Amino acid sequence: MKKMRQGNASYQTVKEVLGWILDTLLGTLELPQRQKDRLFEILASFSSTRRRAAASKWNSFIGELRSMSPAVPGLTGCFLVLQTVTKPTGRIRITTAAHDQIDDIRWLAKEVTSRPTRIAELVPGPADFIGTTDGCCDGLGSVWLPFTTAAHPPLRPVHEN
């Protein structure tokens, strides 16, 4: 009865579940305001003038960002540079590249937290083309090799837009 009085046994289209606000009618996912505030707080704690940090603080910073990444599409691709300066213990040196990445994360967070994230942004769709690439050239030069054999017809787009 206690849970029912709190509204946990009622049908709702907008509900906070495991720290996320889900809207099933609009198909969106959003961080609660306290989590949005925390996101900007942890980003502000690593200002562009800060050059060193305790490894435990840095690891905590990355962990919190990772936990919030579903609410910020594009954030999952921003951890490579941050992970390169990670150490298990001691102090780490925050590089210029890491500061640039944190600035990018700030921009993404400001843009995306201004609106709910559509669940369709989080779930990858079907592939447009199937094939392989020959990426052994220097720079961005590569060759796309369509998947064709006697058993498979020439490649067509998987779905039309």
What are the domain boundaries of the chain? 2-121, 128-161
Question: What gap in Å lies between CA 75 and CA 71, rounded to an integer?
Answer: 9
What mean pLDDT value characterizes the chain? 79
pTM of the model: 0.65
pLDDT band at 135 (very low <50, low <70, confident <90, very high): low
Contact between 85 and 92 (Cβ < 8 Å): yes
Question: What gap in Å lies between CA 141 and CA 137, rounded to an integer?
Answer: 6
Both tokens of 68, joined, read 């919030």
For 19-58, write each residue's pLDDT tens digit: 889 898 998 888 898 988 999 999 999 888 889 999 899 9
pLDDT of 67 over the 80 cut: yes
Q: Can you give the pLDDT at residue 71?
A: 81
Q: Give mean pLDDT, residues 74-86.
A: 82
